[in-house]
Structure 1
Amino acid sequence: MGKRQAERAPDRRRRRLTRLLPAGLALTAVMLASGAAVAHWQDDRDAARRAAEFENHVDGPSDGGATSSPSTSRSPSPSSSPSSKPKKPKKSSTPSASPSHSSGTGTIPVPATGPGTFTTAQADGTVVGTGSRVRRYKVMVEDGIDVSAKSAATYIASVLGDRRGWTRDGVDSFKLVSSGSYDFVVKIATPGTVDRICGAAGLDTHGELDCSVGTDVVVNLKRWVLGSPQFPGPITEYRALIINHEVGHRIGHGHEGCPGPGKPAPAMMQQIKGLHGCVANAWPYDKYGHYISGPPV
């Protein structure tokens, strides 16, 4: 009896092991799956953390402009070091940009746009020039800008009456009027208003340029205040170029090109688009009364 029990004992152990093996394998599989899930979850957390650190590094105020890959950047602290000074916030760009090459002061604000209504300069009936063909003109300044219609009209009259201006041809003279009929009107306006007036005639002034439309000589306040990167010298000279160029269109002159390297640019040349080897010049005539011309464009 004892011998048969001893012989059956190994059989019982084998059967017990056979029953336990599937359960053990199943438990092992569960543990492996759980471990993989935990690892995957941890990887997701690490990836999310690294992405957040990268965004904070790029956009944060204390990165000093340095570049770093996501794997080496660290979460930003309130201050990068106890001695570091916080960066001053960048100043928002204002409509009155810094002065360009023309020596404009930039002290007059240049709003992006205005109401589109104008104040007309009062006239005293003075005529500049001796020519028999009298051109009647008005000067109007958009409301809400820091340029008076009176001062603008006084300056424009001085440009038109200059011996280097259009009156030198002996044909044209100019009379400022504030009412009644007129041949053209000089309007000084904000960039947005210039774009609207010129755009109605199919011209794209990009918030930067002047234009001549119908009887309107439309002067961009930005150019009146800041001048042009292409035009060195006093801002008053560049204003003279604006008036001479646009009034030149009104009395029948078209665009002209550079006559040659080192020569004065014609007043009818679009100098704001580049001098092409010419020397900047605001006047139609030189001091000797010679017309400064270039090839027609």
Structure 2
Amino acid sequence: MSAEVRRRQTRPRGGGLRRRSRRERRRRSRIRLLVAVLVPTAVICVAVAAAPLWTDGDDPSAAAAASASSGPVKDSTDSAPASSPAASAGVGTEPTVRAKPRTKSKPSSGSSPSAGSGSHPVIPPSGPGTFTVARAGASDTGKGNAYRVEAEHGTGVDPDKAAAQIAGFLAAPRGWAHGGEHTFHQVSKGAAGLVVRIATAATTDRICGKSGLDTHGEVNCRVGVDVMVNLKRWQTGSPEFDGPLADYRALIINHEVGHWLGHGHETCPGKGRPAPAMMQQIYGLKGCVANAWPYDTKDQYLGGPSVS
């Protein structure tokens, strides 16, 4: 075979190797470029996935600090200084309320004789601790003990309607106004030596508890100038009280205002006799019959033995 023929046979083989080499270099270049693009992208994705999910201002530590700094809601209406000797005496201490076992004749939130046969309104267990002052029927001038009526926001109680009912109790001949012995007039602003506040159980417990009285979500109290009326009792009465709801409301006011006037607790004077207004009738009548008023129709005081 001639030298020329050999050159022709080897030339294509060498050219094929060079072409394969160029293709291999181009493939490797594409791989290096792809790696250069994908690796930083993967790093960015991992970093994003690991970052906490909040925006500016949503730092959990800042939110926790803000929550810790918020204090309790305060009453919107401050009680005025006492304007009567009985009110200025301070807390109406009720040791029998504080020491009364919870298992004894505890009232329920269900139907009660004093509430009638109709259905009860929804009674919230707690509220904001702020109050609306009754204005209807109020006068900034008048004779006797100045008092104010308030209803906690969210209770559903119309303070003006409640005030009208309370005014009737305070002026009733069988009440503490008996024979002109005490007189009262309602105010909406200015000094008030007596403040009747209708409030949820939680708010009543809180305000009464400031003076060491345990109302355990069920009963009323008198603390200083404040008569705290438990919303549950105002709306449902008591299972121990056999009478209309209006009469039980009269008992609430007569009992707590009696404390404000300086009267202590009394007990049943005898089987079949009217229970004193100053008796804690919600804990049982002890043989007496339910009664809402301090006096009878013959101007006789309906009292009983003192409870120490």
TM-score range, shorter chain: 0.5 to 0.7
2:112 counterpart (68, 93, 100)? 100
- Distance apart, 1:289 and its partner CA: 1.1
Letter in 1 for 2:208: C
Counterpart for residue 258 of structure 1: 268
Alpha-carbon spacing, 1:182–1:123, altered in 2? closer, same or farther (3 Å) = farther
1:221-258 Cα distance to aligned partner (Å, 9 max, x none): 00011111110111111000000000111111111111
Cα separation, 1, equivalents of 2:178 and 2:190: 27
**Matched-pair contact (CA < 8 Å) for 1:98–1:106:** no
Cα separation, 2, equivalents of 1:140 and 1:292: 29
1:273 counterpart (283, 291, 294)? 283
**Matched-pair contact (CA < 8 Å) for 1:199–1:205:** yes
1:12-32 Cα distance to aligned partner (Å, 9 max, x none): xxxxxxxxxxxxxxxxxxxxx
Cα separation, 1, equivalents of 2:277 and 2:179: 14
**Matched-pair contact (CA < 8 Å) for 1:106–1:226:** no
- Distance apart, 1:145 and its partner CA: 1.4
- Does residue 146 (structure 1) correspond to residue 156 (structure 2)? The answer is yes
Alpha-carbon spacing, 1:151–1:124, altered in 2? closer, same or farther (3 Å) = closer
1:201 counterpart (193, 205, 211)? 211
**Matched-pair contact (CA < 8 Å) for 2:111–2:120:** no
- Does residue 226 (structure 1) correspond to residue 236 (structure 2)? The answer is yes
Counterpart for residue 112 of structure 1: 125
2:220 counterpart (196, 199, 210)? 210
**Matched-pair contact (CA < 8 Å) for 2:115–2:235:** no
Letter in 1 for 2:191: S
Counterpart for residue 292 of structure 1: 302
Letter in 2 for 1:102: S
**Matched-pair contact (CA < 8 Å) for 2:137–2:164:** no
Q: TM-score, normalised by structure 1?
A: 0.64
1:129-174 Cα distance to aligned partner (Å, 9 max, x none): 9xx7x11100000001111000000000011111111100422100
Cα separation, 2, equivalents of 1:242 and 1:99: 18
- For residue 155 of structure 1, give the secondary structure of its aligned residue in structure 2: helix
**Matched-pair contact (CA < 8 Å) for 1:106–1:225:** no
1:156 counterpart (159, 166, 169)? 166
CA root-mean-square deviation:
1.8
Alpha-carbon spacing, 1:126–1:160, altered in 2? closer, same or farther (3 Å) = farther
- Distance apart, 1:106 and its partner CA: 4.3
Counterpart for residue 248 of structure 1: 258
- For residue 202 of structure 2, give the secondary structure of its aligned residue in structure 1: helix
Cα separation, 2, equivalents of 1:125 and 1:149: 12
Counterpart for residue 82 of structure 1: none
Q: Could you tell me the percent identity over the aligned residues?
A: 57
1:168-226 Cα distance to aligned partner (Å, 9 max, x none): 04221000001111111000001111111111111111100000001100000000111
Counterpart for residue 122 of structure 1: 135
How do 1:15-164 and structure 2 match up within 5 A? Answer: 97-104=109-116, 105-125=118-138, 134-164=144-174
Letter in 2 for 1:233: G
Cα separation, 2, equivalents of 1:158 and 1:270: 22
Cα separation, 2, equivalents of 1:106 and 1:114: 22
Counterpart for residue 178 of structure 2: 168
Cα separation, 1, equivalents of 2:281 and 2:243: 13
Where structure 1 has 5 or more consecutive residues not aligned to the other structure, the ranges are 1-95
**Matched-pair contact (CA < 8 Å) for 2:146–2:192:** yes
Cα separation, 2, equivalents of 1:265 and 1:152: 25
Alpha-carbon spacing, 1:125–1:140, altered in 2? closer, same or farther (3 Å) = closer
**Matched-pair contact (CA < 8 Å) for 1:165–1:285:** yes
Alpha-carbon spacing, 1:253–1:167, altered in 2? closer, same or farther (3 Å) = same
Q: TM-score, normalised by structure 2?
A: 0.62
Letter in 2 for 1:117: T
Structure possessing the higher relative contact order (Cα contacts under 8 Å, 6 or more residues apart) = 2
**Matched-pair contact (CA < 8 Å) for 1:245–1:267:** yes
- For residue 166 of structure 1, give the secondary structure of its aligned residue in structure 2: coil
